[in-house]
Amino acid sequence: MQKSIEELEQENARLVSILCSLFPDKSGSYFICGSNGNVDGMGLPERLFICPTYGLDGFAVYQKVSEYTGPGW
């Protein structure tokens, strides 16, 4: 029973995070406001622009430092 509760709490936290990023104007969460640079084969740009909260007029630039990696199955 305790394991089920912990799994539900983890899933709830994941869903809250998704909803916050979907509605930054209501949640105050950061969000991607743009991108720049070449796009790789997975569709990922070299740089992302992140706005810390809705309504601000600035952003931080995050740069990709490695290629996409996934399980090698």
How confident is the model over 23-51, as pLDDT tens digits? 888 888 889 999 999 999 999 999 999 99
Asked, for residue 56, whether it belongs to a domain, the answer is yes
Give the rounded distance of the alpha carbon of 25 from its chain centre.
Answer: 15
Asked, for residue 72, whether it belongs to a domain, the answer is no
Asked, for residue 29, whether it belongs to a domain, the answer is yes
Asked, for residue 46, whether it belongs to a domain, the answer is yes
Q: What is the mean pLDDT of the chain?
A: 89
64 — phi, psi (to 5°)?
-65, 130
Asked, for residue 71, whether it belongs to a domain, the answer is no
Asked, for residue 39, whether it belongs to a domain, the answer is yes
Tokens of 5: 């509760």
Q: How many structural domains compose the chain? A: 1
Q: Which domain holds residue 19?
A: 2-63
Tokens of 43: 């569709």
Look up the pTM and report it: 0.68
